[in-house]
């Protein structure tokens, strides 16, 4: 496993981590101030400043991109299916324009939450099936653009409202079904927050292998967790043995960035500089 203690050259910042503190351009400036070499921006943050300005600022700062958040939300009423397809194709076009390494896919949960306006449903098996079909369709478009797709299994706490792909095994089963040739265009984004509890994850990471591990995300699981979505912890403040997971991922040959993604009402309330300083310190000590 690589030694992160001396510097933070392998730290990437998911820009949601400081989304309340400033625009994407301000975040990019802050990364330059702190010597952060890579980011993973969100579509709404890019849209807010305009994709041309965003792309130029990223290029000018010399930043690597470790992903683009996010595509997916594949589960929807049939009337909305074309809209979903087109939305995901736009995500591919934007990712291409930005020059990112992959698009992170959040599968979508039940249709009423995945794509509001869809009729309420409790049929999770239908959701799984729509996710399969949606990824397969998006992959054709992404393949033509040479833009890899990274399925992110989310913690089962989000099965209903954000993603019905909740284990690494399930994400890899989708990869096997949709891209059996392992073309390199479909893989997974592994976030310790979502997978740390899984008794099967240490068997699944070797199954993924280097070619299917497209991104590695870190934050921490707090006890108690006071908000299901926005109370994620700074690395070291929770219960996750992050090094255990990173060691397993790197044992497969993963040599990319360790991306910090923290949705936290607490950290959103602090200054951008304080958050980034803390990220850097924890990256060196507990990641």
Among the listed residues 77, 85, 89, 170, the single contact to a copy of itself using CB under 8 A: 170
Q: Is 128 in the site for a copy of itself (CB under 8 A)?
A: yes
Q: Is there binding between residue 197 and a copy of itself (CB under 8 A)?
A: yes
User: What sign does the dihedral 226-229-231-235 (CA atoms) show?
Assistant: positive
103-106 and 69-72: which strand pairing? parallel
Binding mask 204-223 for a copy of itself (x = CB under 8 A): -----------------x-x
Contacts of 9 (CB under 8 A, 6+ apart): 37
Helix boundaries (H) for the chain: 24-34, 43-49, 51-61, 81-98, 111-114, 124-144, 168-178, 192-195, 201-212, 242-251, 265-268, 272-285
**Torsion, CA 85, CA 86, CA 92, CA 93, rounded to 10:** 170
188 bridge partner residues: 151, 213
Q: Give residues 240-269 in contact with a copy of itself (rule: CB under 8 A).
A: 240-241
Neighbours of 169 (CB within 10 A): 17
The nearer residue to a copy of itself, 40 or 220, going by C-beta atoms, is: 220
Nearer to a copy of itself, 137 or 198 (CB): 198
Minimum CB–partner distance for residue 114 and a copy of itself (Å) = 11
Q: Does 230 bind a copy of itself (CB under 8 A)?
A: no
Q: How many residues bind a copy of itself (CB under 8 A)?
A: 32
Which is nearer to a copy of itself, 79 or 157 (by Cβ)? 157
Shortest Å distance, C-beta 239 to a copy of itself = 5
Residue numbers at the binding site for a copy of itself (CB under 8 A): 110, 113, 122-124, 128, 155-157, 159-161, 164, 166-167, 169-170, 196-200, 221, 223-226, 228, 238-241
């Amino acid at each position: 496993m690589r030694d992160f203690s001396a510097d933070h050259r392998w730290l990437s910042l998911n820009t949601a981590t400081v989304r309340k503190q400033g625009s994407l351009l301000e975040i990019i400036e802050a990364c330059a101030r702190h010597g952060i070499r890579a980011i993973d921006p969100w579509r709404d943050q890019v849209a807010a400043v305009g994709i041309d300005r965003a792309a130029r600022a990223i290029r000018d700062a010399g930043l690597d991109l470790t992903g683009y958040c996010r595509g997916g939300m594949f589960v929807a009423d049939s009337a909305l299916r074309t809209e979903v397809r087109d939305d995901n194709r736009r995500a591919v076009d934007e990712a291409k324009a930005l020059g990112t390494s992959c698009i992170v896919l959040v599968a979508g949960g039940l249709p009423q939450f995945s794509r509001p306006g869809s009729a309420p449903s409790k049929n999770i098996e239908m959701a799984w099936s729509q996710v399969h079909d949606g990824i397969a369709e998006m992959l054709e478009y992404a393949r033509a653009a040479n833009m890899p797709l990274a399925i992110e299994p989310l913690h089962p706490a989000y099965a209903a409202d954000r993603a019905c792909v909740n284990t690494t095994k399930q994400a890899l089963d989708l990869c096997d079904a949709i891209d059996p040739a392992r073309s390199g265009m479909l893989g997974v984004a592994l976030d310790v927050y979502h997978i740390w509890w899984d008794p099967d994850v240490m068997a699944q990471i070797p199954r993924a292998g280097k070619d299917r591990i497209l991104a590695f995300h870190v934050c921490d699981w707090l006890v108690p967790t006071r908000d299901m979505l926005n109370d994620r912890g700074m690395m070291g403040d929770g219960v996750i043995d992050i090094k255990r997971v990173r060691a397993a991922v790197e044992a497969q040959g993963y040599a990319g960035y360790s991306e910090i993604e923290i949705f936290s009402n607490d950290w959103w309330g602090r200054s951008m500089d304080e958050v980034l300083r803390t990220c850097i310190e924890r990256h060196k000590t507990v990641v």
